Chains A and B, each alone.
Chain A
Amino acid sequence: MLANRLTRGTLGAAMIAVALGTTSVVSQVSTAAAWSLEEAAAPYKGATIRTIGEALPPLEAMKKLAPEFEKRTGIKVEIEMYEHSEAVNKVMLDLNSRRGRYDFIIQPHRELGKFVTNGHLGSLEKYLDSAELRDPQFKPEDQLYPRLWKEISWYDGKVYGFPFTALSMYMWYRSDLLSDEKEKEGFKARYGYDLAPAQDWKQYRDIAEWFTRPDQRLYGTALQGKRHEALWYEWLNFLYSFGGDMLDTKSGSECGPVIVNSPQAIAATEYYKSLKAFSPPDTLNYFWDDVMALMQQGEVAQLIMWNDSTYAVAVDESASTVVGKMGFDIVPQGEGGKVAQVEGWSYLVPTSSKNKEAAYLFIQWMMDYDQQLNQHLNGGATARPDVYSSEEVQKLPYSRASMDSNAVARSKPTVPLSGEMTDILVRELSSYLADEKTAKEALDRSAQDISTLLGSCAPMKYPVE
């Protein structure tokens, strides 16, 4: 550190004396406490780091926080915000051209395999091991949900990033409707048990059926049935909860037998479609945006949605008519027990980055408690349990559902060809919803196509004649 200052060669003797004095004072206290962001960032002062992510509230929150980092470090932060698929495509083009426009990137974790196996990402271990760069207070292994972190930001046993958002899906329901005395009475008379937030899929369907009243513009649920990734994400909740999966593997970076046409998967898929009867008529045209609008308009009794969208329906009165009338819980249980499907965006540092160290410092700073809390309260989804236990976060009506889901998050394939796997499944599931084929036909075809795609490492466990 001292050597560093001296070699800059611009300091006068008096300045050196002051610097020496400061260092000696600090070193007396303790070596661990000597780390400060300002000093760690000094070599990178004047640098500009650029990043890219999806145009959503947590990124907007980050943009508002960045000036403080800039003031403390003299490192300028530029943030580019694009629509979901635009943000992903821009990064793919940048990484593959190796021109290094982005010093770090914020990307969904399903992209990890593509990035890592093609050599676009470097492991962050060396920064975590670096005494100059690593803040001794930053202990991700203790401070983050370990499973979430491993799922979202690790690949093949190596760490590549830190969670920007830890997204999961859980059940949203109208607590005012479910606790209405008249509804409770009628429901019990009809179904023989008490009306309460669904614990299993039978209850979920009963509630959906009970509240489907098109003449009152109320529907039991709303499926995200458009041919779009949203359909796949939603279906995963059903698949996992029914005890099914896509590949028979332990982690997302492994290839393994294809089990997407297992009996459990077929049951989950058939159940999923059965809910179409209790969805609004345009349900095959919905993705997240539409069901969000319906929920805000108070036209749906319960559905399964993203945690980072919760804020706009449960808190934001300018957009929602159901503030104060919402309840949240983990998705109902099936054979697969308590599960949640998790997705997340990560801070990653590309190998083509021109300011890797400065980027690491910014990411590390963003992972601090204060920044995480700020981001979370502005519509983000942190991966730090201590943020969840803060008083302000506890007051949010969806915090418990978020925490429960985070605790039981399931991994999903992040292998290089997982994008094409998703594309196959979206096509086949959409065909099934549109009555072009049966669930078995759709999943058999998916299994065949995925097995062909992944090759010899992915035989079909349930062969098709």
Chain B
Amino acid sequence: MLDMARAGRSVLLIAPTGAGKTLSGFLPSLIDLATSNHPRTVTRGRRVVRRGIHTLYISPLKALAVDVARNVERPIADMGLSVRIETRTGDTPQHKRQRQKIDPPDILMTTPEQLELLIASREADELFGDLSTIVFDELHALVTSKRGDLLALGLARLRKLAPDLRAVGLSATVSNPQELRAWLVPQGPDPDGVIADPAELVMVSGGAAPDITILKSDDRIPWAGHSARYAFPDLYQALKRAKLTLIFVNTRSQAEVVFQELWSLNEDHLKIALHHGSLDVGQRRKVEAAMAAGGLDAVVATSTLDLGIDWGDVDLVVHVGAPKGASRLAQRIGRANHRMDEPSRALLVPANRFEVLECQAALDANYIGDQDTPPIRPGALDVLAQHVLGCAVAAPFRADDLFLEVTSTYPYRNLDRATFDQVLAFVATGGYALKTYERYARIRLTKDGTWRVSNPQIAQIWRLNVGTIVEMPMMKVRLVSSLKRLSAFGGRVLGEMEEYFFETMLQGDTFLFGGEVLRFEAIHENSAIVTRTLDKNPRIPSYMGGKFPLSTFLAEKVRSILSDPSQWSRLPAQVSDWLEIQAQVSELPGRDNLLVETFPRGDRFYMVVYPFEGRLAHQTLGMLLTRRLERMKAKPMGFVASDYALGIWSVEDMGSMARSGRLRLDDLFDEDMLGDDLDAWMADSYLLKRTFRNCAVIAGLIEQRHPGQEKSGRQVTVSSDLIYDVLRSHEPDHILLKATWADASAGLLDIGRLGVMLARIRGRITHRDLEQISPLAVPVMLDIGKESVPGEADESLLASAADDLIAEAMRSHSAPPQ
């Protein structure tokens, strides 16, 4: 590391958690600051000013920035160096931020959003003119999101201000370090994607191999579901043996269930706490403090506790539910014992039989060192729009210069000029064909050929809205003692939850929140009013779908276990029996084919397919297949998607239709479904509208916050759904629709993955027309009725409800039958 620093080389350091990665990132800077002669002031032109920042440290979490600052201050004090380290986050008081601009520290620890604000400030030249090094912590976690795009643009800007800037990336093990190495250095105009001179790579191999086991239980492993209730008695025993256990789950509602169940078993009065993003901040801080002080025995947590913060003495990491992506698993296991020489202990608790397979696959992957992270996607256009306005806020710019700067970043290296100009037009006046907004332009091309911000308020609004994290409309959860007191308005705020969670709830529905069962009473203003209930079993299915779909990499591993009976002996007997019966009555999905099963059940006919491409891609496939089956006259009635399979049911016998040739499976699964069918469905898709809202907020079409009225979420002035409808009908090629489409394809609709799957299985569809449900189909069939896809078929539901009322009214008015 030191050699490369001396040579001025950018470098990617890959090391397992606990290897002292963060400190090694800083060491060259500390040595430089300590050894060379660094005057406190420098001369710029005719002025003498304070020396700028020497090293910037960027972390994805503000808590991590604060924590790392503390950890680096210790060696500095020990060595007696006079190096000033400070943090700057959203929580830093205004007076300190002001002072930091005039009198910058040697090392500044901050977040991507704060960096974007700083480079747009008037003092940017002074602050960053002397910058020697920028360190990105947890780079692998930063670069795959829109925050990574914003950060890449920020890095390009810093290089402008400090041409000799050296970038250092710190990362956990990743499958493709080439991308990260390229991300750190400027890109040439090279559309082929060959990186001429990437950052140097330093790899520190792992210490002791982690000791990972899958929880063995004599209880029956369920077919479906996500609660893992069967395993809790065994899990509880494991907690008792460990000193401090971290129990990770995939969703908040799962956290609630696990927490509640463990407490019901807690005869030994273990101190078990709950930590997830919906809980009140004060509550979360209390848990974190208790953990650091060693006052807890176990913490049930979601990803809010995910990234490398070193708290307390965790000696066991438990993962309940499928780990979804193997690299997430590695990250989480890294939490146990932050020391290189001792193996981390981890316990996997699959919640159902498919998850047993997934855990086994993840376990294999971890041992052989395979890691998967999603590839870095082309930079998002909404983020670019935000940055372009930021650049104008910073100083007047020439479009040609900015284009070169933007395309020097890894995510935007292939951006074409026409699209860039479209983004520029969007920032200026909305970029519409109808040019009525010219007089209100936010930025204007002036006579000297530069673009400038029209007025100071534009800059103010931009500053308030910087960032790529869009808040979902949230509702406060308010507890009242009885509904009679509702009008008095009040009650204790327990936390916040996404508005959409309550949209499908009826008064009297019960759900888990903050470790207790609550009864939903009403929506009042911006709050969901709840009361306590004695009901032990919440009625609302607590599983709202995992946040992370099964990764491509893990899916392939699961398929390979399924298709190779020699591997089944490693699985619990219940699971291998299940697979063997499947092999007898039907067959198992292969590595490359697509298994389609059809069978009757009750008065319906079912089709179950097993693509293993994750819930999002399956949902999209379900939407498209039902449209096609409708046209093919199979009268489909609904579908259900899991991470592994997709089940469709219909009035007509799809099995016999396929046998008689009236339904050709090759046609049904033809890739052309991604054309017109997709387009038609998208027009009114709820998922797409949600994606559009995110893009519109990030791009600055809709403000989250306006000066003087710091609003968030629902108070957006024009509903994004209305804007979306107008845009689709009037300007289907608008830049924001492009951004939405790119997002949705990779995100909520996962079209990219669906496309790859359809191409892979072409000509390789295996159809099994069965007399009854197969063992492998049971899990997805059990999900029917538990998960619904919102936003579709509203009109027909409305019509039938209204018609029912009419029919009811007619009956009560007509004479009783004789």
- Does B associate with A? no
